[in-house]
């Protein structure tokens, strides 16, 4: 799960990570009120979306940039008016962009140097790792590709945590000296505490800045939380903004289905993540393109199967469905009944290939055969993939 920058700043404040003062607004009037409340000479107005690259982004109405600095409250009103309700496209949003419904108004920092700082979960070592660079503010992927020597990695021991010598080492690698090393150590420690306490999988601060007066401040923040830990993070879960997520994935999560939307045209409904991966591979192997990853789990109910079908069919790119069930815990007849209910409710009109195997398979096959539904049945995975690819080609 991701959160907005304004929410990230609230977490920063709570954990003592230094950042600039600011608040969020949903209307130009609110933006003006926030600006007046700040009482500063200048203001930075920042579009709030779950994506980076806002500064260099362009709105679909042609307005350039999702991050602006201005010196008048009236300009704040104007900028908020240009951004709110508009779609911002950045290199991270994809061409469809993201709708801006909130803007952050903050006191601008005077920047002497922009740095990069992130804490990630390193799957290779199974522990957190700090990534830092003197080349902040810019695209870090670009730095990694062209000047990898400017990226510094510090692995963190999983139980000892971030040690004082490490925070100093990172600060020095970033070229900090004197009092800044102390300030940086404090900031890194606070950030690491936050990372652990809130079950983050990523905190990326780009830029972390040194101001002209020598202060160290986090000016931007991208968070990622471990979805599997959200049950024990009610405070984080409350920050979820469903309008930023793929609506298909939101619907799936409501029915505890594991769904990831892809851009092909053959939908698959499978039980088990491994089988789902194999099904996607074999669709591709047969010359098709999967429209999604969908794992209904080991003990799906009829309602879940119906919900899964509806989610699949709400995707306009879907031209055919492959159901691949290996009934271990799963009763094949439940899947069959779910398919029937869903096909009725959605007036299914695209090819459907079903491969059922395992627990109570005969009953499942019988249910489908007697339904009068135009189901193409398949004997094995290979057969199923070939049949759905052929059926979609024929229908097109």
Q: Which of 20, 167, 292, 319 binds ligand GDP (CB under 6 A)?
A: 20
Q: Which of 10, 33, 40, 53 binds ligand GDP (CB under 6 A)?
A: 53
CB of 210 to ligand GDP, least distance (A): 12
CA atoms of 88 and 216, how far apart (whole Å): 29
Nearer of residues 215 and 357 to ligand GDP, judged by Cβ: 215
- Residue ranges of alpha helices (H) inside the chain are 5-15, 28-38, 73-83, 140-146, 164-173, 179-197, 234-237, 247-254, 273-285, 302-313, 332-346, 361-369, 381-395
Using CB under 6 A as the binding rule, whether residue 219 contacts ligand GDP is answered as yes
Q: Among candidates 233, 165, 167, which has minimal Cα distance to 201?
A: 233
Cβ-count burial of 75 within 10 angstroms (0-12 exposed, 13-18 middle, 19+ buried)?
A: middle
Count of residues interacting with ligand GDP (CB under 6 A): 18
96 annotated active-site: no
Using CB under 6 A as the binding rule, whether residue 22 contacts ligand GDP is answered as no
Nearer of residues 20 and 167 to ligand GDP, judged by Cβ: 20
CB of 84 to Mn ion, least distance (A): 20
CA dihedral 190, 191, 192, 196 (to 10 degrees): 100
The residues binding Mn ion (CB under 5 A) are 206, 220
CB of 249 to ligand GDP, least distance (A): 23
Q: Are 265 and 317 in contact, with CB atoms under 8 Å apart? A: yes
Using CB under 6 A as the binding rule, whether residue 83 contacts ligand GDP is answered as no
Instruction: Tally Cβ neighbours within 10 Å of residue 262.
Output: 16
Q: Among candidates 261, 266, 239, which has minimal Cα distance to 250?
A: 261
CB of 352 to Mn ion, least distance (A): 45
204 annotated active-site: yes
Binding-site ranges for ligand GDP (CB under 6 A): 20, 44, 46, 52-55, 67, 69, 108-109, 111, 114, 137, 206-207, 219-220
Tell me the catalytic residues.
116, 204
């Amino acid at each position: 799960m991701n959160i907005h920058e304004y929410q990230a700043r609230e977490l920063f404040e709570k954990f003592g990570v230094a950042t600039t003062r600011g608040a969020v607004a949903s209307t130009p009037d609110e933006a003006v009120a926030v600006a007046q409340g700040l009482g500063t000479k200048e203001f930075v107005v920042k579009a709030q979306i779950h994506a980076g690259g806002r500064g260099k982004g362009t709105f679909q109405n042609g307005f350039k940039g999702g991050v602006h600095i201005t010196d008048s409250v009236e300009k704040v009103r104007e900028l908020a008016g240009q951004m709110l309700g508009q779609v911002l496209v950045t290199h991270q949003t994809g061409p469809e962009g993201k709708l801006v419904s909130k803007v952050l108004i903050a006191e601008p920092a005077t920047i002497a140097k922009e740095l990069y700082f992130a804490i990630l979960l390193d799957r290779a070592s199974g522990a957190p790792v700090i990534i830092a660079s003197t080349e902040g503010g810019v695209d870090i992927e670009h730095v990694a590709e062209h000047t990898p020597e400017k990226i510094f990695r510090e692995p963190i021991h999983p139980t000892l945590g971030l040690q004082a010598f490490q925070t100093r080492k990172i600060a020095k690698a970033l070229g900090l000296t004197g009092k800044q090393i102390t300030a940086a150590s404090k900031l890194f420690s606070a950030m690491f505490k936050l990372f652990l306490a809130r079950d983050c999988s990523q905190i990326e601060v780009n830029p972390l800045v040194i101001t002209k007066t020598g202060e160290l401040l986090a000016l931007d923040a991208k968070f990622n939380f471990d979805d599997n830990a959200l049950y024990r993070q009610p405070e984080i879960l409350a920050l979820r903004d469903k309008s930023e997520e793929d609506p298909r994935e939101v619907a799936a999560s409501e029915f505890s289905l594991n769904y990831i939307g892809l851009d092909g045209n053959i939908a698959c409904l499978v039980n088990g993540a491994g089988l789902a991966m194999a099904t996607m591979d074999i669709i591709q192997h047969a010359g098709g393109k999967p429209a999604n990853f969908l794992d209904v789990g080991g003990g799906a109910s009829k309602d879940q199967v119906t919900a899964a079908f509806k989610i699949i069919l709400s995707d306009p790119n879907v031209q055919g469905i492959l159901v691949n069930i290996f009934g271990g815990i799963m009763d094949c007849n439940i899947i069959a009944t779910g398919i029937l209910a869903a096909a009725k409710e959605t007036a299914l009109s695209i090819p459907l290939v079903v491969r059922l195997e395992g627990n109570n398979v005969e009953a499942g096959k019988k249910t489908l055969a007697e339904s009068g539904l135009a189901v193409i049945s398949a004997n094995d995975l290979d057969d199923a993939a070939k049949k759905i690819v052929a059926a979609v080609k024929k229908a097109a």
